[in-house]
C-alpha cells in the first residue's frame, strides 16, 4: 500500500493561521488500509513524542517539527442506529465540521446548529470539546473511535470516559491516541438552545421581536452564522486560529473583587465560580486592534489573533501573545492561558521517526 508522504514539507498551508513552519515528513492517510500500512512501517519504531497529528490546523500553532506530521483524511457519514428520539451517526475524522453541521440540518438531524461555522475537522472536535453559543460537542457526543499506538488497536471510547470539559478532554495531551471517527447522538425532533445572550438578541432582532414561536433549528443556524460572520474574521481572508485565549475562570472571592473594581465586567456562573470573557479584558486593556508586524488582535473581536501575512512564526506569535497576557495580568490580576495547541512547547528532544 502506497503511503502519501511529502518530505521536508511546508506547513503554512496546513494551518488556518498560516503560521510558517516545516516538518521532516508530512503523511496523509486517506484510508484504513493506509493507516495499517503506516503502523506496519513504524513497527517497534513509533515514538508519539516525534509525531504530531493535524486536522485542518484550525486550533494549532505549529513550529518547525523535525519529526513527522500526520493528517487523517478518513471520511464518511453513516447512520448507526435510529430510535424514536435520537439518531446515532458515525462521522469520519477527516470530514469538515462546518459541512457536517449543514448536512445534519438538511437531513433533519438536530442539535448541532449552535456549532455552525466552527472551522476544523471532525476528528479535532472532541479533542478540545468545541463549543459555541451555549452548546458544546460533549452535549451530543456518544463515543469516539481511536487508534491507540500503545497496542496498535482500534477502540471505541464512550464519551463519559473522555473527561470532556471547557475546551479540553483526555485526548488533548494523548499524542499516541488518534481519533478515527466520532459517534454523535442527534435529535430527530428540534429542541433548540437559545439562552446565550447574543444569540437570543440576534434571534429576536431577526424575528422582529414580536414572535412568541420557538425558533426553528434553521433559524438558530442562520443566526449563529450571521453572528460569527459579523464578529469573527474568516480565516480564508484573515488567517487566525479562533479564540486565542481561554475565558478565565475565577472563584467567588475573585469575582467579587473584580465586580467591585469593574462593575460592567460581563460574567456568567460555572460550577466552581464565574467565567469572565478574555475578549472584554483585552479590549479594556487597549488590545483590540493592537498590531505587531503582521499580527493583529482583531479590530472587531480582541480574542482572535489574526496573521495578515508575511512570515509570522510561532515564536513571534508567542511573544506578542505574552505581551497581551502581561497587560491583562497587570490590569486585572488575571492570568490568561493560550487556547490553541502550541507545538513549540513540545518540540524539545525530538528524534526522527522511521518513515521509510
Residues that bind ligand EPU (CB under 6 A): 132-133, 198, 231, 242-243, 246-247, 266, 277, 279-280, 283, 288, 301-303, 339
Residue 274: CB atoms within 10 Å: 19
State which residue, 166 or 294, has the beta carbon closest to ligand EPU. Answer: 166
Catalytic residue among 58, 121, 243, 314: 243
State which residue, 27 or 241, has the beta carbon closest to ligand EPU. Answer: 241
State which residue, 95 or 339, has the beta carbon closest to ligand EPU. Answer: 339
Q: Is 170 a known active-site residue? A: no
Q: How far is the CB of 330 from ligand EPU (least distance, A)?
A: 18
**Nine cell digits for residue 73:** 483524511
DSSP labels for 214-283?
PPPHHHHHHHHHHHHHHHSPPTTTS-EEEESBPPPEE-HHHHHHHHHH-TT---EEETTEEE--HHHHHH
Catalytic residue among 167, 228, 288, 347: 167
Residue 164 CA neighbour count, 13 Å, CB half: 23
Q: Is 243 a known active-site residue? A: yes
Q: Are strands 65-72 and 22-29 parallel, antiparallel or unpaired?
A: parallel
State which residue, 24 or 242, has the beta carbon closest to ligand EPU. Answer: 242
CA 89 to chain centre: 20
Q: How far is the CB of 2 from ligand EPU (least distance, A)?
A: 36
Q: How far is the CB of 270 from ligand EPU (least distance, A)?
A: 11
Q: Are strands 65-72 and 304-307 parallel, antiparallel or unpaired?
A: unpaired
Q: Is 198 a known active-site residue? A: no
Active site residues: 167, 243, 339
Amino acid at each position: 500500500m502506497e503511503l502519501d508522504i511529502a518530505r521536508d514539507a511546508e506547513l503554512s498551508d496546513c494551518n488556518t493561521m498560516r503560521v510558517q513552519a516545516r516538518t521532516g515528513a508530512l503523511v496523509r492517510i486517506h484510508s484504513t488500509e493506509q493507516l495499517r500500512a503506516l503502523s506496519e512501517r513504524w513497527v517497534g519504531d513509533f515514538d508519539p513524542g516525534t509525531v504530531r497529528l493535524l486536522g485542518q490546523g484550525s486550533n494549532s500553532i505549529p513550529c518547525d517539527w523535525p519529526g513527522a506530521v500526520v493528517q487523517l483524511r478518513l471520511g464518511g457519514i453513516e447512520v448507526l442506529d435510529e430510535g424514536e428520539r435520537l439518531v446515532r451517526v458515525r462521522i469520519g475524522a477527516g470530514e469538515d465540521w462546518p459541512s457536517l453541521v449543514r448536512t445534519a440540518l438538511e437531513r433533519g438531524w438536530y442539535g448541532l446548529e449552535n456549532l455552525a461555522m466552527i472551522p476544523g475537522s471532525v476528528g479535532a472536535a472532541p479533542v478540545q470539546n468545541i463549543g459555541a453559543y451555549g452548546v458544546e460537542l460533549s452535549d451530543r457526543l456518544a463515543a469516539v473511535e481511536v487508534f491507540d499506538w500503545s497496542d496498535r488497536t482500534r477502540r471505541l471510547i464512550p464519551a463519559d470516559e473522555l473527561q470532556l470539559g471547557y475546551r479540553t478532554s483526555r485526548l488533548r495531551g494523548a499524542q499516541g491516541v488518534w481519533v478515527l471517527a466520532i459517534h454523535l447522538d442527534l435529535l430527530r425532533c428540534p429542541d433548540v438552545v437559545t439562552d446565550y445572550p447574543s444569540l437570543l438578541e440576534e434571534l429576536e432582532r431577526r424575528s422582529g421581536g414580536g414572535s412568541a414561536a420557538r425558533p426553528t433549528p434553521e433559524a438558530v443556524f442562520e443566526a449563529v452564522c450571521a453572528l460569527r460572520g459579523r464578529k469573527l474574521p474568516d480565516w480564508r481572508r484573515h488567517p487566525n486560529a479562533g479564540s486565542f485565549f481561554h475565558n478565565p475562570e475565577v472563584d467567588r472571592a475573585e469575582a467579587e473583587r473584580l465586580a467591585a473594581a469593574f462593575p460592567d465586567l460581563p460574567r456568567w456562573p460555572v460550577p466552581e465560580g464565574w467565567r469572565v470573557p478574555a475578549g472584554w479584558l483585552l479590549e479594556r486593556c487597549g488590545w483590540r486592534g493592537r498590531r505587531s508586524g503582521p499580527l493583529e488582535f482583531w479590530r472587531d473581536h480582541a480574542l482572535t489573533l489574526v496573521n495578515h501575512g508575511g512570515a509570522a512564526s510561532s515564536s513571534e506569535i508567542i511573544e506578542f501573545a505574552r505581551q497581551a497576557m502581561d497587560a491583562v495580568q497587570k490590569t486585572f490580576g488575571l492570568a490568561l492561558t493560550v487556547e490553541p495547541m502550541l507545538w513549540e512547547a513540545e518540540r524539545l528532544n525530538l528524534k526522527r521517526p522511521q518513515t521509510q
